[in-house]
Chains A and B, each alone.
Chain A
Amino acid sequence: MASANVLHALYNDDDILMKAVKELRAKKYRIIEVYTPFPVHGLDKAMGLAPTRLAITSFIYGLIGLSVATLMMNFIMIEDWPRNIGGKPSFSYLQNMPAFVPIMFELTVFFAAHLMVITFYLRSKIWPFQKAANPDVRTTDDHFLIEVDAANHDLDALSKFLYDTGASEISLIHNEEHA
């Protein structure tokens, strides 16, 4: 983390939180993180976060799944052992393709879904036994918390500003003891 000192401002209401985020951004204060108990609609836009690229990865994973299914069925059913099973034409992949489409479809969905979820876990650093990064237990229930970078700022002025935005509780955190 860039700075040693951060301010934690707690809010009771998501509308006040949204207003505070906009005001902080307008004053060019750096918001390190916002903790909320539930998704606040439009918060990412207010914070100016870049849009997610998860859907793009999912599309690519889907294409990989489709290729795996095609190559697998082509090798097994057409190239390796082209048997006559119930009169199905196994001379080329195209001729027997309708029978492979259910597999191609399911593997596309399987790869797209599962690899995207795993990507999400990795990018969000979520896995079993991961230490919870929650600065205040109340943020999982009914409180909202904004973590503001306090470096190079007058702490009194920043606290006053946060108080004016409607914060119910403001605390100074030293990163050394926090870590």
Chain B
Amino acid sequence: MYTFSSKLRLFAIISMVLGLVGLVYGFLSVPATVEEASAVLASHDAHHETTDNHEEASFIDEARQEHGYSEAAMAKDKDMGHNAHEDEEHMQHVLHQMQSKPWSAAFVAAFFFMMIALGTLVFYAIQTAAQAGWSPVLFRVMEGITHYLLPGSIIVLLIVIFAGEHFYPWQNHELVAEDQILQDKAGYLNFPFWLIRSIIYVAGWNLYRFFARKNSLAMDTAEDDKPYKNLFKFSIFFLAFFLCTESTMAWDWFMSMTPHWYSTLFAWYILAGIMVSAVTVIAMVTVSLKAIGKLEFVNDSHLHDLAKFMFGFSIFWTYLWFGQFMLIWYANIPEEVTYFILRIQEYNPIFFGMLILNFVFPIIILMNSDFKRVSWFVVIAGTIILVGHYIDIFLLVMPSTVGPYWSFGITEFAAILFFLGLFILMVGLGLSRVSLRPKNNPFLVESEHFHY
């Protein structure tokens, strides 16, 4: 039985309060009028005058051997043109992007922690449906992490609903009225249908979490294997449901931020990020619970398997990232490539730095079989992977909503702090309610003697 220490609880509450204060500051400090936005822009430009290389040819201009190509391409997509008679319209756009910044910061952090709980739930369902012999000793840990799903997914749902036009241009009727592409997509991208879909996702995921936990606890006292069979069936249906809803969730919540752009493997790419972050958190929670002596029935072979999953999913994520990037880069079709031009131009260090964090480091740290059994190695690799996948979500959202006016400041940090606090609080409560050693799972004995 794990008791949620008062120190950790206090830490979680303090970070939630600090985060909340920072988020409120973030929402209050956005420019309210075009004049304020211009002032921010002017100070921003003055600050970056030396590094702002609009005169020099950029990476993309060089590649195209066409001076000013990237500027023109971006102006087409993001209204960044400095045309004099469009100035007023342009400033309206800038103001809108600046106002979207705190919304985006909150959404990035909220989704990041929600996807960890969601991915853990999926991993749990996979382990159950696959009748894995090694993992039942970790089921209570996974159930504890998924305790965050209910509050986390409701907050994410509220953010995407209330962010409205800050995230989703297709919710702006004036814009749709003059945009043939958005009109053609209105059959799918309209608010009522979108809202119903979003509610179904969140409701379905939480429903499975509720029944899985119920049957898993019922197993402890059951005389027969009925709860186990129920859990098994629920898990299979959930996996089918999840794979459908995850795809549409990715289209609805992320891809429709840039409704002119589309990519077919986008949903899989997000899924890979979800899975690798979730497995990483399972491993890190397992390591920390084992360090305080609460998981004496978990041995280093279990850790080894989790680390293998971290390694494998990291490479899977990279494969999908590159699959998407390379196909678009290679064909270079204007309507597709704007997505990456914006990210390479305006987010260059983190866009490529993320690859080092999410691919190069895990491959180097976790390739050796012996290292996967060393808990502090797994924790270091896990920290790097989590930072990398936060940046991944950041890069999904920020370029689409705030464009070039991004920064990592108080608002972004406060959002992480708030959701980290909430995550620790909910996971701690979820872990502390029942014994960490499940009973009566048919594969439990095998799992306790698991040796690799």
Which A residues are closer than 8 A to B by beta carbons?
55, 59, 87, 89, 91, 95, 98-99, 101
Known: A87-B332, A91-B62, A95-B63. A101 touches B367 (CB 8 A): no
Specify which of B63, B64, B65, B322 is in contact with A101 (CB 8 Å cutoff): B322
Specify which of A55, A59, A89 is in contact with B63 (CB 8 Å cutoff): A89
Contact, CB under 8 Å: B330 / A98? yes
Closest to B319 in A: A105
Which residues on the B side are within 8 Å of A98 (C-beta)? 322, 325-326, 329-330
What are the 7 tightest A-B residue pairs by CB atom distance, in nearest-first order?
A: A89-B63, A98-B326, A98-B329, A95-B63, A99-B330, A101-B322, A101-B326
Smallest CB–CB gap between A61 and chain B, Å?
Answer: 14
Q: Within the assembled complex, what's the spacing in Å between the Cα atoms of A99 and B329? A: 9
Smallest CB–CB gap between A93 and chain B, Å?
Answer: 13
Smallest CB–CB gap between B393 and chain A, Å?
Answer: 23
Mark interface residues in B357-373 (1 if CB within 8 Å of A CB, else 0): 00000000001010000
Smallest CB–CB gap between B337 and chain A, Å?
Answer: 12
Mark interface residues in B304-343 (1 if CB within 8 Å of A CB, else 0): 0000000000000000001001100110100000000000
Which residues on the B side are within 8 Å of A59 (C-beta)? 367
Specify which of B325, B329, B369 is in contact with A55 (CB 8 Å cutoff): B369
Q: Within the assembled complex, what's the spacing in Å between the Cα atoms of A87 and B369? A: 44
Q: Within the assembled complex, what's the spacing in Å between the Cα atoms of A104 and B65? A: 26
Q: Within the assembled complex, what's the spacing in Å between the Cα atoms of A151 and B63? A: 75
Contact, CB under 8 Å: B62 / A95? yes
Return 13 A-B CB contacts under 8 Å, by A number.
A55-B369, A59-B367, A87-B64, A89-B64, A89-B65, A95-B59, A95-B62, A95-B63, A98-B330, A99-B326, A99-B330, A101-B322, A101-B326
Given A98-B322, A98-B326, A98-B330, list of 17 further CB < 8 A pairs?
A: A55-B369, A59-B367, A87-B64, A89-B62, A89-B64, A89-B65, A91-B62, A91-B63, A95-B59, A95-B62, A95-B63, A98-B325, A98-B329, A99-B326, A99-B330, A101-B322, A101-B326
Most buried by A among B63, B322, B329: B63
Q: Within the assembled complex, what's the spacing in Å between the Cα atoms of A101 and B62? A: 21
Q: Within the assembled complex, what's the spacing in Å between the Cα atoms of A91 and B63? A: 8
Q: Within the assembled complex, what's the spacing in Å between the Cα atoms of A98 and B330? A: 8
Give the residues from 4 to 62 in chain B that come closer than 8 angstroms, CB to CB, to chain A: 59, 62
Mark interface residues in B186-204 (1 if CB within 8 Å of A CB, else 0): 0000000000000000000
Which residues on the B side are within 8 Å of A95 (C-beta)? 59, 62-63
Smallest CB–CB gap between B243 and chain A, Å?
Answer: 27
Which residues on the B side are within 8 Å of A101 (C-beta)? 322, 326
Q: Within the assembled complex, what's the spacing in Å between the Cα atoms of A19 and B185? A: 71
Which residues on the A side are within 8 Å of B369 (C-beta)? 55
Which residues on the B side are within 8 Å of A89 (C-beta)? 62-65
Which residues on the A side are within 8 Å of B329 (C-beta)? 98
Which residues on the B side are within 8 Å of A91 (C-beta)? 62-63
Smallest CB–CB gap between A70 and chain B, Å?
Answer: 15
Q: Within the assembled complex, what's the spacing in Å between the Cα atoms of A89 and B326? A: 14
Which residues on the A side are within 8 Å of B367 (C-beta)? 59
Closest to B329 in A: A98
Closest to B327 in A: A98
Closest to A55 in B: B369
Which residues on the A side are within 8 Å of B326 (C-beta)? 98-99, 101
Q: Within the assembled complex, what's the spacing in Å between the Cα atoms of A92 and B332? A: 18
Smallest CB–CB gap between B255 and chain A, Å?
Answer: 22
Smallest CB–CB gap between A169 and chain B, Å?
Answer: 33
Smallest CB–CB gap between A103 and chain B, Å?
Answer: 12
Q: Within the assembled complex, what's the spacing in Å between the Cα atoms of A31 and B63? A: 66
Which residues on the A side are within 8 Å of B64 (C-beta)? 87, 89
Which residues on the A side are within 8 Å of B332 (C-beta)? 87
Closest to B59 in A: A95
Q: Within the assembled complex, what's the spacing in Å between the Cα atoms of A101 and B321? A: 13
Q: Within the assembled complex, what's the spacing in Å between the Cα atoms of A121 and B28? A: 70
Q: Within the assembled complex, what's the spacing in Å between the Cα atoms of A98 and B332? A: 12
Q: Within the assembled complex, what's the spacing in Å between the Cα atoms of A89 and B66? A: 12
Q: Within the assembled complex, what's the spacing in Å between the Cα atoms of A87 and B64? A: 7
Which residues on the A side are within 8 Å of B322 (C-beta)? 98, 101
Closest to A92 in B: B62
Q: Within the assembled complex, what's the spacing in Å between the Cα atoms of A107 and B325? A: 21
Most buried by B among A87, A91, A98, A101: A98
Which residues on the B side are within 8 Å of A55 (C-beta)? 369
Q: Within the assembled complex, what's the spacing in Å between the Cα atoms of A98 and B367? A: 24
Smallest CB–CB gap between B301 and chain A, Å?
Answer: 14
Closest to B326 in A: A98
Which residues on the A side are within 8 Å of B65 (C-beta)? 89
Which residues on the A side are within 8 Å of B325 (C-beta)? 98
Which residues on the B side are within 8 Å of A87 (C-beta)? 64, 332
Q: Within the assembled complex, what's the spacing in Å between the Cα atoms of A101 and B65? A: 23
Q: Within the assembled complex, what's the spacing in Å between the Cα atoms of A91 and B62? A: 9
Q: Within the assembled complex, what's the spacing in Å between the Cα atoms of A99 and B322? A: 11
